[in-house]
Every structure is written in structure tokens, then in C-alpha cells.
Amino acid sequence: MDIELTEEQRQVRDMCRDFAAKELAPNARRWDEHHEFPREAVKKLGELGLMGIAVPAEWGGGGMDNVSYAVAMEEISRGCGGTGVIMSVSNSLYCDPVMKYGSDEQKAEFLRPYASGERLGAFALTEPQSGSDAAEMKTVAVARGDEYVLDGAKIFITNGPQADTILVFAQTDKAKRHKGITAFLVPTDAKGFARGKTDDKVGIRASGSCPLFFEACAIPKRFRLGAEGDGFKIAMGTLDGGRIGIAAQALGIARAGYECARAYAKERKAFGQPITQFQAIQFMLADMATEIDAARLLIWRAAGLKDKGARFSAEAAMAKLFASEMAERVTSKGIQVHGGYGYVKEYDAERHWRDSRITEIYEGTSEIQRLVIAGNLLKD
Ligand code: CAA
């Protein structure tokens, strides 16, 4: 089994590593503190082909594979966890389904400028009363003449405050529950669309999320993505890919936490010697490095299966489950290595822990990943 990156994948990694070191890491603490969206950096990600990595070049994307996407997500998230999720939503949750289900006419309008990073997309599934139980959504879309009219609300929508178009899921036939859900491309200048206040989050504060409101929001019928009733399957298939992106984001955040702990441990002295001389610290660093490598292997396996066109739902869920919980453990140990300095904002250790925490919640909680994995294990 070959677990080496190809020459092209190594080039993507090196390019992203360089970009993260120059453009992201030096600004990440300020973006976090001021809850500031990294507009210039996101524009540059687009110019580097990183906002639609696996979208073919003819549709404005990077024309690369999903392993490259995972590698890029790790490096970008190592520089800034918040920037990582902005990129992941654009790639996995917006460009991927529009590429897969969009007509050429829809791709020209709703994919090309998004994959190239001129515009930003978002994905709106979650509602106030339905997070894990996604099919329980209340937002409705009623067909009227040449239009659909949307009414309802979504919450916690990453990229919501900045997005130009949002992939919105709504019920077109409530009696059919998940089989009555349909996907729509809703431009954020549509009449009847409004955003709520940006969420004041614990971590990944460079990225914005907010509630969305639809009040008699009319969009042309041609903005429907896929057929009526296909929305739930589109959402679930999309989230399979998204979970690879979030797993790689968690991996990048964990690496940042591990690397700053290692650097601190090499400098810090206690009882007359560097703390790296103590087995307590050595063992923590050893566990952190081992878990990081294990997560990477799970992520590359899931991405490789996606590249082959094979089923990868369970493998993506395993990667996301392990990488997110690993990131929380590793960044928490990173704080421990720093002692008191880990608990104050002058050091980055606490930010990495705060950034890691959400990866166990969004795009399916750890509990949902276990359900997906078990469901696949017990299928036959
Ligand atoms: N691909 C394609 N189809 C799928 C699928 C997949 N991965 N998983 C399920 N389906 C299909 C099933 O085959 C089934 O189809 P049929 O009715 O034709 O048989 C249908 O979907 C319903 O499946 P279930 O009965 O398993 O559905 P359920 O209602 O029990 O829910 C669930 C399953 C896994 C719990 C799902 O609701 C889920 O994933 N919940 C978590 C939601 C989530 O991840 N939200 C994240 C929001 S986005 C976000 O977080 C972004 C961000 O901020 C960055």
C-alpha cells in the first residue's frame, strides 16, 4: 500500500504550508481576538485555486484530487483554524454539490465564480429545532408559477454573514419527511432573505456564522438544485465529503497545538533542566505525535476512496470522529505542557484548543459519526 503523496500533492502541500506561514499564522491571533473575517487571505486562497480544489479547471476550480484537498486543508488550518473552515465550506459543502448536481447553466452562474474564489458560498441545513435530526426541518418552499417561495429559518450557518449564494434545504412536501426535502441555490440579494447577528463563538473566530431568515423569499424555479425530493440525499452525500474536510481541519489545528507545545517544552526549564528531559512531557509529546499521524492516515484513506469513486461514508465518519476527538485531546495536552502559560491569551495554546472544540460538533457530532459508522457496520 502506497501512503506517499504524489509529486503534485507534495507541491500543493508545500504551497499551502508556505501560504499559511506567511499569510495566516502571523494574523490568526488578531483575527481571533477581533472576530475578523480574513477577507484578503480568502481572496488569495481563491487565486491559488484552493476554494474549489477538486472542481475541474473549466469550471473555475483547481482541478486537483481529494487527497490534495485534505493535504491543503491540514496546512491551511494549521495556520488558522477559522480560515480552514471558510475554505472547507466553500469546497465541500458548496462547490462539490453544485458540481455534482448542477446543470451547465447553473454551473456557469453558481459554480465558476465560487470555485475561483470571486464569490463565496454557504450551506444551510441546520435549524433551531433540528441539528442532528436534519430531516426534521421546518423551512418550506412552495412552488408558485415560475418561482419557489421559501419561508423559515436556519441557524449557525458558516460563511452565512459573507456568502453570495447559499445552498438551502427546504421541505417541498412535508408529509414525505426526508423524501420531501429539496435543495435550492438562494442568492443573498433575493427579496425576503435576511441575516441575523453574527454568532459570538468560542473558537474559529476568523470565520463567521449566523442565522438566516426567509420570509416569502421568492427565487426562480431554475435555482432548484437536483429534483424535488432529492434534497436529503444531496445533503447527506455532501456531508460525507465535508467530513473529510473537517477531519483535515481538526488535524491541522492539532498539529498547530502539538508544534507550539513542542517548541515551548524545548525552551522551558524546571528543576534545573529543560522540561523535555522529563518523561511526563516526553510521553505527552509522543502520544500527541502518534495520534496526529493516525488521524492523517484515516483522512487520506477516506479521501483516496472518494477519488476512486468508491463509497466512503463510513471511512469519512471514522476520519472525522477520530481526528476531531484527537484534536481536542492534543490541544488540551498542549495547554498542559504550557502550564499556567497555556491558560492565558498571550500564548496560542488556548486558541488551538478553542478552535478544535467545534470539530466534534459541526458537520455531524461525534455521536452522529458513531451512528453512521455503526449503521454501515451492521448493514447486512
Ligand atoms: N449518502 C446518500 N444517502 C444517504 C446517506 C449518504 N451518506 N445517508 C443516508 N442516506 C439516505 C438513506 O439511504 C435513506 O434513503 P431512503 O429513504 O431512500 O432509504 C435516507 O437518506 C434517510 O436515511 P436515514 O433513515 O439514515 O436518515 P435519518 O433521518 O435517520 O438521519 C443522520 C440520518 C445520519 C442522523 C442524518 O440526519 C445526519 O447526518 N445528521 C447530522 C446532520 C449534520 O451533519 N449536520 C451538519 C450541518 S452542516 C455544518 O455543520 C456545516 C458547518 O457548520 C461547517
145: left (phi over 0), alpha (psi -120 to 50) or beta: left
- Residue 132 Cβ contacting ligand 1 at under 6 Å: yes
Confidence (pLDDT) at 380: 80
| Phi, psi of 212, deg, nearest 5 | -125, 145
Return the closest-CA partner of residue 84 out of 256, 243, 253, 322: 253
Please tell me the pTM assigned to this model. 0.98
Distance separating alpha carbons of residues 283 and 378, to the nearest angstrom: 37
Above 70 in pLDDT, residue 1?
no
Instruction: Look up 363 and say whether it is catalytic.
Output: yes
Neighbours of 284 (CB within 10 A): 20
Three cell numbers written together for 301: 484513506
Confidence at 284, pLDDT banded by 50, 70, 90: very high
Q: Is the model more confident about 227 or about 1? A: 227
- Please name each of the domains of the chain with its CATH number: 7-115 (1.10.540.10), 121-229 (2.40.110.10), 233-377 (1.20.140.10)
Average pLDDT over residues 288-293: 98
Least confident piece of the model among 1-10, 100-109, 127-136, 319-328: 1-10
Q: Report percent pLDDT > 70 for the chain.
A: 99
pLDDT recorded at residue 230:
98
For ligand 1, atom 46, the nearest C-alpha belongs to 363
Is the Cβ atom of 138 under 6 angstroms away from ligand 1? no
pLDDT in tens, 55-94: 999 999 999 999 999 999 999 999 999 999 999 999 999 9
The protein residue whose alpha carbon is closest to atom 25 in ligand 1 is 178
Reference 150, options 121, 181, 109; nearest CA is 181
Per-residue pLDDT tens digits for 93-119:
999 999 999 999 999 999 999 999 999
Predicted pLDDT of residue 328? 98
- Rounded distance between C-alpha atoms, residue 181 and residue 263, angstroms: 50
